Amino acid sequence: MRNKSILVTPLLVAIVAAAVFAPRASARTSSLSEVYWKCSSGFAFETSGSAVHCKKPQWTETKPFMGCSIGLILKIDLVGSTDMCAGNTVAGVVSLEPACYPSDVVVGFTKRHVDGKDFCGKTHPSQIVAPSLAITL
C-alpha cells in the first residue's frame, strides 16, 4: 500500500499544480470568437428575409440665398409660397425673387418654394451598401 501512495502523491501534486497554474480562457483569447458585421456611421442596419444591408435615407442639403439688394427686405411668402426681396425705392415699389449663388447652381442646387422661408437645396439619393465593419466577439 505504501508503494502505491508514493506513486500516487506526485501524480496528485502534478494535477493540482496544472489546475492552479493553467492559463485562464477569456473571451478575448478564445479561439472560438465569432465575427459580426455593422454599418458605418450614417447608415442604418436593415434586414430583408435572410439578407442584410446598410441604408442611408434620401436627404436634402440646403444653402442660403444671395442677399437682397440694398434697400430691399426679404418678405416671406409674399407671392403665394414664393419669398421676394421687396421695398420702396425712388423708382417705386420693387420686388425681386432671391436667387441661389451661381457657384451652388453649378453643383446642382435649385430654389425650393415652400411654406415659410424658401431655400436652395440639393437632393441626395438614398444609398444601400453591404455591412463593412467587422466586430469580433
Which pLDDT score is estimated for 122? 96
**Contact at 8 Å (CB) between 90 and 99?**
no
The type of residue at 114 is V
Q: Which residue has the higher pLDDT, 19 or 54?
A: 54
Calculate the alpha carbon distances from 4 to 10, 11, 12, 17, 38 in Å: 11, 11, 12, 20, 60
**Across 4-8, 32-36, 53-57, 108-112, least confident range:** 4-8
Q: How does pLDDT run across 20-72, given as a tens digit for each residue?
A: 555 555 555 556 678 888 888 889 988 888 888 999 999 999 999 998 888 88
**Contact at 8 Å (CB) between 108 and 102?**
no
CA distance 123 to 133: 27
Mean pLDDT confidence for 81-107: 88
pTM, 2 dp: 0.57
Q: Which residue has the higher pLDDT, 93 or 120?
A: 120
